[in-house]
Structure 1
Amino acid sequence: MDFPLKAAIELTAAQARVRAMTAEEMLELIRGLNARLGDVRPKAGPPVDAAPLDPRKAVREKSIVCLESGRPFRVLTRRHLAKYGLTPEQYRAKWGYPADTPLVCKALQRERRKKMREMKLWEKRGK
């Protein structure tokens, strides 16, 4: 069930608990609320008048904002970038990131670095 219809039913049920309503009144209220709530729902995608995000500010502590979609992620995956016809290498080049920049948030980058240091993969393992 989509959001406007579910919200309209819940609002009508709350109204029916407060005052006596006929079945026709409830149906009319549900139809009216569903139509009005459907009009209020925001359209998909980033706002048209929004200024593009600065690539230097896109990499944050707990998220990295995709400059193509405007949505925040912890990791910009190859699969997400493919929706926009880009590989990670093309994305970095398009937005001016160095080729070795990981497309992950700072916290996850730090966590991975710490784990690699603990594993010490560069040392030979003893018997």
Structure 2
Amino acid sequence: MTAATDMKTFATLTADIVSAYLKHNAIEPAEVPTLIAAVHGSLVGQGQPVIEGPPPLAPAVPVKKSVHPDYLVCLEDGKKLKMLKRHLANAYDLTPAQYRAKWGLPSDYPMVAPSYAERRSALAKSIGLGRRTPATVPAPIVKRRRAKRT
């Protein structure tokens, strides 16, 4: 069939479908062009191949089972890691924010195993990090007036 024949066929089919619909359903006269356009568009689109998007992402493990006390499981490949951020950057070129967005994770999803974070925190506190020291106020600089030279 040629393009002209196809258009005549689509026009005939559209007219038949719309007239059959209007015999059994009452609609406003202003809505008839919209109905015709919708029917014609769906008939023309029937011959086109359906373009499917990428398949939905499936994590290597369920999200609820990805956080353990001693390790995290990467949702990309299922590896057990203490620090996820470095692995994501090296293997997948992802930032933590991109990783969380990709898998629909909350913003407080950990990037470090909980027990590892506790050990590092305890170590930092033992060497004195995290304590606030009172800020030293510098002594005000007193400007002296110079005596005029005569």
- Which TM-score tier does this pair reach, normalised by the shorter chain? 0.3 to 0.5
Return the TM-score normalized by structure 2: 0.42
Return the TM-score normalized by structure 1: 0.48
- Compare relative contact order (CA 8 Å, sep 6+) and give the higher one, 1 or 2: 1
